[in-house]
């Protein structure tokens, strides 16, 4: 009735929209996002996979050569493709020169350290004290630092000659004198840089978990004489564990695609991450190889994503 | 600690008394541990910024083998850096790209967030999961087709794609897709919490469906919209991969701050004071944003992961 009254005053398009069923209206609203996502995300993903099934074509009009099936992937894992890449994809004998191992090493070590430190920060921020807001702001700042500036900071800390840290660490026998040209030292520096920037993210997620714990549980525990450690072990840890796991998953996904930090601090030939290899094969026009590495990276992350989605689906069903 | 305290002296007495009291009341130890931890985290967080300031104010010829304290005080680097490279223009490019992306994400994300948050429709969950999943794929997996699309090498029905390489479009589109999911997630959460009654009241008074969204739901969810906007802006300003790959690095070709900072490392590789000063200038906008909007950022970070 209201619609009939409205129709003369509103435009025909608005009128049409008013007449749609809720489902049709919902799809209309989601349509712009789906269009953008299809062109910029879904299509490129499928196309990358398709390109990865073709051979490299260095000359000629077309970008890729003939269809070769999964041969690019086989060549990557068997080491046959190593010659055209700055560093091999997988080389068990020299783990620090193979991108798959370096990427995993980086992700596992940095996420582990971030989890421990993030837990520490979260516990500090969970306390009531004067100036807590300022401490929280200070701890949050590294999260907002652009990757290129994060890289620059650690480049300046570990550049030979100016970085204060190089000489003492060399004396301890931990670093070479030119750590930014050495895979082991560079990897360690990149882990430290990543920990510095992303621990706040971890801390805030864990803090949100900590603050959702019912404070009365602690009162009960104190009444019955539980020590701080017992309270942590039986109340805090099990209740906060789900948030910790989600945070670790998010961080692992991000760590597995590390690129900019390496490019700024060191170089892609010194620390060969998977994304680094995609870019360098892309730059040398080896599109088939590049796409195959990109898709392996996506596959590794896709496994992590599907774990999350399975969990998401389960908790959603549990909530309803 | 007992052997240390036996030698006496006023300092030891204080320590001894502290230890005795601590044994009687363990809360004191926890309090002390807490302060040590707080100071440790503040130090590790802020030290890298201190190091940037030290390098930036030390004249470049004194930088070699310097320790942890500045040698001299000289703010000239903050002027010189703009003479060497137009850092302000790189930053302006980044600002414009981030603003455009944020506007697109907020408008389109609001439409989708309304649908996901307030309408029960068939296929809602799978659609939402598909959109969310996108943001977790590595940018490298989109690079190749997008690069060819943006350089005019993809044709559909004989029409080749427009060349948007070296324009804001080449950065805005992939970043919109990359950061849209988080915003949709935040907006969906906020929009779904608005009571139905408020929207119904507006509709009865003759507001159209879209009118109700933009005049009732969005204003009532202002904190959520602000959170999504700030998260998108910071994410775009900080992004590296597409910023690095989708322009040729010329400031006139919309190269963002990534190339501004890397320019000092590449062309002026001996001028460490300029690199440090440029980093300070480049980081200031986001530091200010964090100080002003930390509540919103905290809510954005946590809603992305915990509101499942």
What's the rounded Cα separation, in Å, for the pair B239 and B256? 10
Asked which of B36, B55, B74 is the last residue of a domain, the reply is B74
Q: Cβ contact (<8 Å) for A136 and B298?
A: yes
Whether residue B43 is found in the same domain as residue B99: no
**pLDDT-based confidence at residue A267 (cuts at 50, 70, 90):** confident
pLDDT computed for residue A312 by the predictor: 63
Are B148 and B296 in a shared domain?
yes
pLDDT tens digits for range B25-63: 777 788 888 889 999 999 999 999 999 999 899 888 877
Model confidence pLDDT, tens digit, residues A142-198:
999 999 999 999 999 888 878 777 777 877 777 777 788 888 889 999 999 999 999
What are the DSSP calls for A82-115, one per residue?
GGGSSS-S--SSSGGG-HHHHHHHHHHHHHHHHH
CB proximity A120 to B under 8 Å = yes
Contacts of B66 (CB under 8 A, 6+ apart): A162, A164, B54, B58
Q: B63 lies in which domain range?
A: 2-74
Q: Is the ipTM of this complex over 0.90?
A: no
Residues A84-129: tens digit of each pLDDT = 666 777 776 676 678 888 999 999 999 999 999 999 999 898 888 8
Q: Which residue has the higher pLDDT, A265 or B74?
A: A265
pLDDT score recorded for residue B226: 92
pLDDT exceeds cutoff 50 at B162: yes
Q: Do B138 and A243 touch (CB under 8 A)?
A: no
Residue of A nearest to B175 (CA): A40
* Mean pLDDT score, B286-293: 92
- Tell me, what's the pLDDT at A2? 52
Taking CB atoms and an 8 Å cutoff, what residues of chain A touch B124? 26
A241 has a chain B CB within 8 A of its CB: no
Per-residue pLDDT reduced to its tens digit, B225-271: 999 999 999 999 999 999 999 988 888 889 999 999 999 888 777 78
Does residue A164 sit at the B interface (CB-CB below 8 Å)?
Answer: yes
Tell whether A189 lies on the interface with B, counting CB pairs under 8 A. Answer: no
Q: Identify the closest residue of chain A to B179 by CA–CA distance.
A: A37
A41-55, B80-94, B125-139, range with the lowest pLDDT? B125-139
CA B87 to CA B282: how far, in whole Å? 8
Phi, psi of A56 (to 5 degrees): -70, 145
Selected residues 194-223 of chain B with any CB under 8 Å from a CB in chain A: 204, 206, 208-210
Chain A interface test: which of B301, B304, B307 (most A C-beta within 10 Å): B301
Domain count, chain B: 2
The pLDDT of residue A270 is 86
Q: Can you tell me the distance from the alpha carbon of A75 to that of B302, in angstroms, rounded to the nearest whole number?
A: 42
Q: Are residue B62 and residue B207 in the same domain, yes or no?
A: no
For residues B185-199, give the mean pLDDT: 89
Same domain, B10 and B100: no
- Considering only CA atoms, which of B45, B48, B51 is closest in space to residue B68? B51
CA distance, residue A82 to nearest chain B CA (Å): 19
**Partner residue opposite B41 with nearest CB, options A124, A253, A312:** A124
- CATH (domain of B293): 1.10.3720.10
- Tell me the backbone φ, ψ of residue B9, rounded to 5 degrees: 95, 155
Query: Can you give the pLDDT at residue A318?
Result: 47
pLDDT of amino acid A314: 65
pLDDT of the residue at A320: 35
Cα distance between the two ends of chain B = 49
- Among candidate residues B74, B95, B119, the one where a domain is terminated: B74
The answer to whether B71 and B55 have CB atoms below 8 angstroms apart is: no
Both B66 and B98 in one domain: the answer is no
CATH code: domain A96-271 is: 1.10.3720.10
What is the tens place of the pLDDT at every residue in B140-160? 889 989 998 888 877 777 777
* Pair B52, B120 in one domain: no
Instruction: Single out the residue of A133, A154, A160, A126 nearest to residue A142, CA to CA.
Output: A154
Partner B contacted by A192 (CB < 8 A): no
From chain B, the residues in CB contact with A316 under 8 A are: 125, 308
**CA-based Rg of chain B, rounded to a whole angstrom?**
27
pLDDT over 90 at A249, yes or no: no
Cβ contact, residue pair A2, B173, below 8 Å? no
What mean pLDDT value characterizes chain B? 86
pLDDT(B22) > 50 = yes
* pLDDT tens-place string over residues B69-94: 787 788 888 988 898 899 999 999 99
Of B30, B145, B237, the CB nearest to A43: B145
> Do B47 and B186 reside in the same domain of the chain?
no
State whether B18 and B82 are in the same domain. no
Q: In this predicted structure, what is the pLDDT of residue B76? A: 85
- Chain A residues in contact with B153 by the CB 8 A cut-off are 63
Q: Evaluate whether B109 touches B183 at the Cβ level (below 8 Å).
A: yes
Query: Could you give the residue range(s) of every CATH 1.10.3720.10 domain in chain A?
Result: 96-271
Share of chain A above pLDDT 90, in %: 27
Backbone angles phi, psi at B155, to 5 degrees: -125, 145
Compute the distance between CA of residue B300 and CA of residue B122 in angstroms, rounded to an integer.
Answer: 28
Same structural domain, B133 and B91: yes
Would you state the pLDDT for residue B107? Answer: 95
| Domain end marker among B74, B90, B124 | B74
- Res B268: pLDDT: 78
Residues 88-127 of B with CB under 8 A from A: 108-109, 111-112, 114-116, 119-122, 124-125, 127
Residues B114 and B263 in one domain: yes
Residues B19 and B106 in one domain: no
For chain A, give the mean pLDDT: 84
Q: Beta strand B159-160 with B155-156: parallel, antiparallel or unpaired?
A: antiparallel
Render pLDDT for B260-286 as a digit per residue (tens, 0 to 9).
999 988 877 778 889 999 999 999 999
Q: Is residue A281 a contact partner of residue A289, using CB atoms and an 8 Å limit?
A: yes
From the list B64, B65, B241, which residue is nearest A259 (CB)?
A: B241
Minimal CA separation from A187 to chain B, in Å: 18
- Mean pLDDT of the region A266-276: 88
| Confidence check: pLDDT of B8 > 60 | no
Q: How confident is the model at residue B6 (pLDDT cuts 50, 70, 90)?
A: very low
Residues B107 and B251 placed together within one structural domain of the fold? yes
Mean pLDDT of B128-133: 85
């Amino acid at each position: 009735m209201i619609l009939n009254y409205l129709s003369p005053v509103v435009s025909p398009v608005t009128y049409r929209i008013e007449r749609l069923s809720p489902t049709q209206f919902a799809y209309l609203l989601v349509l712009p996002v789906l269009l953008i996502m299809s062109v910029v995300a879904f299509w490129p993903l499928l196309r990358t996979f398709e390109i990865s099934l073709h051979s490299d074509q260095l000359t000629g009009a077309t970008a890729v050569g003939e269809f070769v099936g999964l041969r690019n992937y086989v060549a990557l894992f068997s080491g046959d493709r190593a010659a055209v890449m700055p560093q091999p994809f997988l080389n068990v004998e020299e783990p620090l020169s193979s991108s798959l191992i370096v990427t995993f090493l980086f992700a596992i070590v940095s996420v582990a350290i971030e989890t421990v430190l993030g837990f520490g920060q979260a516990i500090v921020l969970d306390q009531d004290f004067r100036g807590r807001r300022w401490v929280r702001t200070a701890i949050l700042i590294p999260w907002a630092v652009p990757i290129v500036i994060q890289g620059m900071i650690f480049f300046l800390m570990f550049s030979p000659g100016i970085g204060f840290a190089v000489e003492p660490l060399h004396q301890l026998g931990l670093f070479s004198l030119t750590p930014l040209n050495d895979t082991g030292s560079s990897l360690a520096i990149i882990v430290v840089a990543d920990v510095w920037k992303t621990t706040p993210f971890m801390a805030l997620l864990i803090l949100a978990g900590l603050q959702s714990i019912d404070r009365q549980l602690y009162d009960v525990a104190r009444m019955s004489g539980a020590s701080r450690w017992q309270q942590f072990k039986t109340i805090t840890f099990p209740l906060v564990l789900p948030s910790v796991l989600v945070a670790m998953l998010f961080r692992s996904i991000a760590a597995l695609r590390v690129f900019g930090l390496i490019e700024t601090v060191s170089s892609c030939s010194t620390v060969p991450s998977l994304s680094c290899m995609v870019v360098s094969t892309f730059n040398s026009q080896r599109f088939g190889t590049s796409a195959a590495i990109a898709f392996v990276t996506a596959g590794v992350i896709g496994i992590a994503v599907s774990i999350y989605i399975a969990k998401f689906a389960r908790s959603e069903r549990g909530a309803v | 600690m007992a052997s240390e305290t036996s030698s006496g002296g006023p300092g030891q007495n204080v320590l001894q008394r502290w230890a005795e009291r601590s044994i009687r009341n363990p809360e004191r130890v926890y309090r002390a541990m807490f302060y040590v931890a707080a100071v440790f985290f503040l130090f590790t967080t802020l030290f890298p910024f201190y190091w940037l300031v030290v390098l930036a104010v030390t004249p470049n010829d004194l930088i070699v083998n310097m320790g942890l304290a500045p040698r001299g005080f000289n703010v000239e680097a903050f002027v010189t850096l703009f003479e060497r490279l137009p850092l302000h223009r790189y930053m302006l490019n980044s600002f414009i790209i981030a603003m455009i992306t944020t506007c697109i994400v907020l408008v389109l994300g609001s439409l989708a967030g309304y649908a996901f948050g307030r309408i029960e429709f068939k296929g809602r969950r799978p659609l939402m999961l598909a959109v969310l999943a996108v943001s977790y794929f590595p940018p490298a997996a989109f690079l190749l087709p997008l690069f060819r699309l943006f350089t005019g090498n993809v044709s559909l029905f004989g029409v080749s794609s427009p060349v948007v390489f070296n324009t804001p479009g080449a950065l805005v589109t992939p970043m919109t897709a990359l950061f849209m999911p988080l915003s949709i997630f935040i907006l969906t959460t906020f929009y779904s919490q608005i009571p139905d009654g408020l929207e119904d009241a507006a509709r009865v008074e003759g507001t159209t469906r879209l009118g109700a969204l933009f005049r009732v739901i969005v204003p009532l969810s202002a904190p959520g919209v602000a959170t999504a906007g700030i998260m998108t802006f910071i994410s775009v300003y900080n992004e590296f991969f597409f910023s690095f790959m989708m322009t040729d690095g010329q400031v006139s070709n919309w190269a963002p701050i990534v190339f501004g900072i890397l320019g000092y490392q590449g062309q002026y590789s001996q001028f460490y004071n300029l690199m440090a000063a440029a980093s300070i200038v480049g980081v200031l906008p986001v530091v200010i944003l964090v100080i002003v909007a930390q509540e919103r950022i905290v809510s954005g970070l946590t809603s992305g992961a915990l509101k499942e």
